[in-house]
Amino acid sequence: MAGMIGSPVKRKEDPRLITGNGYFTDDIKLPGMLYGTFLRSPHAHAVIKRIDASKARAFPGVAAVFTAAELADKMKAVPAMWFLPGCELKPKDRPALAADKVRYVGETIAFVVAKDRYVAKDALDLIEVDYEVLSAAVQQEQAMQEGAPQLFDDVPGNLALLWKAGEIPDEVFEQAEVVIKERFYNQRVVPNPMETRAAVAQYNPGGGEMTIWCTSQNPHIHRMIYADVLGIPESKLRIIAPDVGGGFGSKIATYSEEAVVACAARELKCPVKWVEERKEHFQATTHGRDEVIEVELAGKTDGTLTALRVKNTANLGAYLSTFGAGCPTIDFGLMVTGAYKIPQAAVVTYGVYTNTTPTDAYRGAGKPEATYQIERAIDLFADKIGMDPVEVRRINFVPKEAFPYGNAMGVTYDSGDYHLTLDKALEMLDYQALREEQEELRAQGRLVGIGFSTYVELCGFGPSAVAGAIGFQGGVWENSTVRVHPSGKVTVFTGTSPHGQGTATSFSQVVAEKLGIPIEDIELVHSDTQSVSMGWGTYGSRATAVGGAAVSIAADRVVEKAKKIAAHELETTVEEIDFTAGIFRVKGDPDRQRTFQEIAKSANFAWNLPPGVEPSLEGQSFFDPANFVYPFGTHICVVEVDAQTGEVFLMRYIAVDDVGRVINPLLAEGQVHGGIAQGVGQALWEGAVYDENGQLLSGTFMDYTMPKARFFPMIESAFTETLSPVNPLGAKGVGETGTTAAPPAVVNAVMDALKPFGVKNLDMPLTPQKVWRAIQNGREKQ
């Protein structure tokens, strides 16, 4: 169907989900299935002196209680998969269950399996554990200090990694006309997809096959890691991610719980289910961010930026998580110069183990932190030289004609036109008029602020050779098969693993356009390692740019083969065949034609194929892109601050995003809204707060503020389309734009609003109390 790409098609996924016919992991019920629940550490750092599970084992309805002792020779600890080279990385795997020491509140100690979840929960209360409580290292800078509690004997100073890229001599900053030095804390946030993690495992003791249904963003990565952890060959381990209720990065990681569930199913020869409670999610599923970022930005009074030096002290939590080493280094460090032609840049990252939940990718993973520091620093720079922050951005933008552009950190931006989104956003805002209004309101004592964020992010992972060079223990290509059935109906297989993105719709649009068939004739198969030969999953805004590209190429290959068959049947050459809107026609003789469906039948029946053409009609692609893709855009936030209470109210939010080719504008806008809500959430409300003992104070939805409907105005969203040369769709990626762009846009707006009080910087989240205090301090100084 022509015009499918770029059309706001209603989602194919929805009829199932809106009628209660979704199939999430907790919906699975197998005959004889048992239910498991984990005993978790109440202490952040303690030696386990004794575990006595005898009462729990004797409790009626309990099938087994596993502790580290029972699992010692049954499974391995769960390793990370990003081993950054050249940074003295000291990876620490997640133990299956804690044996002698616990290192964060929520670490698993025992697994109770019982006939139902009620009994399992009752038995859990009967397990006795004696702890020798140790003092905890919670905050990363403190954990690095001499005398701080040590998590591991062989990791002095709790320093897990030290990554350096580039060097700039001090003189550059000493001699610069203008230097901004600031410390930004990018606070720890909790991903909180609405579906928590869950797993169901079923083992066949006869053949040794294991199936794990789990909440995964990348089932093939889960298969690769758990195969090793469980000692089951990949050929006998099947991972299925059924409907998955959001991930935001937290379901990339491989965890010990899922592997323990599988191990228990194998031991008990019964299916076992485990579903994480929300309180457990807060403690046990990876967190995001938690980076102390110190920035030195040098420039000239004419507004030109000349050098950027950044130090990131990142809290990795108690163990090295799957992508944990990569987020604050590669993902962050390569993007610190943002959308600006800053000639010199250098980054050093300290990765630190602490007695907290391990951190890993969270929607954006490093890029939001990179964007935050440069977008905040540039506002401080503009303020210092007395120039409009918009003007400073314009002066320093990488110009349109410079693409492909190699930034100072060595990565090459594929395409861009940064003035384009800025101009459009300013027009939507009516900038000059708003600045005038702001002045009038200020005169009345009202605190209105305007904040900008002109971001660029690295996504669409990516060339596999680069992944290898940076120590990622896997590939990042993508796989698709487009299989045409005799009727002309099509099954598309993809290695990406959607969990809310609407990929079944957007990929079907690509195939519908390419094959000229109705979208209803196409079904997408994904997230099952037995159906899909290989794939690397959905994260890093890679689904469309890499997975979609593979689908597009595979569909092209179908057409290529179909044309040969059509030419044969129509007694002409392939060159003479024109394929449009699902019809193969002989050029100049359009009455001689075959429909796509006719050729599908011919190919599958194989009664009369041209010489050298094999039966069936199927295209396959293993697409490994030549580069990452670099979506960009301009977000503008307008806030009003209640001077009496410090509350921040969003008045307007404008997002102009350029994500390359937009396959489905409705879905793209949905991604933008959701990302902005999370980004604004980080800016204003969200934050995992630990006390000095490593207890999570904001550990439920009662005290961790999730963005709610009433916090937002209608977001004004628009797209421009600057195509990427990296893939045949010209697509970039839209999933992480909001979390990347929004935090600095919001904070810049609040800082602008607080200008009358001389407030330069406040760390996120900008809670009312924090803003109020800043206003108070400002008043006292005046």
Partner 1 sequence: MAKKVEVSVTVNGKAYSAEVEPRMLLVHFLRETLNLTGTHIGCDTSQCGACTVMVNGEAVKSCTMLAVQAAGCQVTTVEGLGEVGNLHPIQQSFWEKHGLQCGFCTPGVMIASIGLLQQNPNPSEEEIRDALEGVICRCTGYQFIVEAVKHAAQLMAVDETETGNALQIGEGR
Partner 2 sequence: MIPNQFSYVRAESIDEAIRLLHESNGEGKLLAGGHSLIPLMKFRLTTPSTLIDIGHLSELRGVRKAENRLVIGALTTHREVHSHPLVQEHLPVLAKAAGQIGDLQVRNRGTIGGNLAHADPAADLPAVALALDAMLEIQGEDGAEIASVDGFFLGPLVTALPDTSILTSVSFLIPPAHAKSTYLKYAHPASGYAVVGVCAIAAKDPDGAVEFIRIAINGVADVAYHCVAVEQKLQGQLPTEETIREAALLAAEDGEIGSDHFASEEYRRHLCSVYTERALRDLLL
Q: Is 446 in the site for partner 2 (CB under 8 A)?
A: no
- 299 is written with which tokens? 């420039």
- 336 is written with which tokens? 């610190």
666 binds, among partner 1, partner 2, none (CB under 5 to 8 A by kind): partner 1
Q: Is 708 in the site for partner 2 (CB under 8 A)?
A: yes
Give which of 128, 132, 110, 126 is closest to 51, Cα–Cα: 128
Q: Please list every residue from 196 through 225 that binds partner 1, using CB under 8 A.
A: 196
Q: Is 682 in the site for partner 1 (CB under 8 A)?
A: no
Contacts of 600 (CB under 8 A, 6+ apart): 484, 485, 486, 487, 488, 562, 617
Cβ closer to partner 2: 185 or 711? 711
245 and 218 Cβ atoms separated by less than 8 Å: no
Segment interacting with partner 1 (CB under 8 A) among 139-147, 168-176, 188-196, 522-530: 188-196
Give me the least distance between CB of 60 and partner 2, in Å please: 12
762 and 746 Cβ atoms separated by less than 8 Å: no
Give which of 205, 315, 327, 208 is closest to 269, Cα–Cα: 205
Q: Is 114 in the site for partner 1 (CB under 8 A)?
A: no
Instruction: Quote the CA–CA distance of 262 and 242 in Å, as a whole number.
Output: 17
Q: What is the DSSP letter of 661?
A: S
User: Of 702, 714, 780, 781, which lies in the binding site for partner 2, with binding defined by CB under 8 A?
Assistant: 702
Give me the least distance between CB of 244 and partner 1, in Å please: 7
Q: Is 22 in the site for partner 1 (CB under 8 A)?
A: yes
Segment interacting with partner 2 (CB under 8 A) among 116-124, 365-373, 377-385, 663-671: 116-124
Give, rounded to a whole angstrom, the gap between the first and last alpha carbons of the chain.
66
Q: Is 183 in the site for partner 1 (CB under 8 A)?
A: no
Cβ contacts of 750-753, under 8 Å, gap ≥ 24: 750/449, 750/451, 750/639, 750/641, 750/648, 751/379, 751/449, 751/451, 752/379, 752/449, 752/450, 752/451, 753/447, 753/448, 753/449, 753/639, 753/640, 753/641
Segment interacting with partner 2 (CB under 8 A) among 4-12, 47-55, 114-122, 756-764: 114-122
Instruction: Quote the CA–CA distance of 626 and 65 in Å, as a whole number.
Output: 50
Cβ contacts of 439-442, under 8 Å, gap ≥ 24: 442/756
Cβ closer to partner 1: 431 or 712? 712
716 and 428 Cβ atoms separated by less than 8 Å: yes
Cβ closer to partner 1: 268 or 666? 666
Cβ closer to partner 2: 125 or 132? 125
772 binds, among partner 1, partner 2, none (CB under 5 to 8 A by kind): partner 2
User: Of 4, 5, 26, 310, which lies in the binding site for partner 1, with binding defined by CB under 8 A?
Assistant: 26
685 binds, among partner 1, partner 2, none (CB under 5 to 8 A by kind): partner 2
Instruction: Quote the CA–CA distance of 501 and 508 in Å, as a whole number.
Output: 13
Q: Please list every residue from 602 through 661 that binds partner 2, using CB under 8 A.
A: 644-645
User: Of 1, 4, 5, 13, which lies in the binding site for partner 1, with binding defined by CB under 8 A?
Assistant: 13
Q: Is 277 in the site for partner 2 (CB under 8 A)?
A: yes
Q: Is 685 in the site for partner 2 (CB under 8 A)?
A: yes
Taking phi over 0 as left and psi of -120 to 50 as alpha, with beta for the rest, 100 belongs to: alpha
Give me the least distance between CB of 501 and partner 1, in Å please: 7
Tell me the backbone φ, ψ of residue 44, rounded to 5 degrees: -80, -30
Give me the least distance between CB of 537 and partner 1, in Å please: 16
User: Of 18, 465, 606, 697, which lies in the binding site for partner 2, with binding defined by CB under 8 A?
Assistant: 697
Strand order in the sheet with 617-623: 522-525, 490-494, 478-484, 617-623
Q: Please list every residue from 261 through 290 that binds partner 1, using CB under 8 A.
A: 275, 277-279
Q: Is 763 in the site for partner 2 (CB under 8 A)?
A: no
Cβ closer to partner 2: 391 or 692? 692
Q: What is the DSSP letter of 206?
A: T
285-287-288 Cα angle (round to 5): 145
Q: Is 762 in the site for partner 2 (CB under 8 A)?
A: no
From the number of C-beta atoms within 10 Å of its C-beta (0-12, 13-18, 19+), residue 3 rates as exposed
Residues that bind partner 1 (CB under 8 A): 10-11, 13-22, 24, 26-27, 29, 60, 116, 118, 192-196, 243-246, 248, 275, 277-279, 499-502, 666-667, 669-670, 672-678, 700-702, 706-710, 712, 714-715, 738
Residues that bind partner 2 (CB under 8 A): 117-118, 121-122, 125, 277-279, 644-645, 685, 689, 697-698, 701-706, 708, 711, 767-769, 772-773
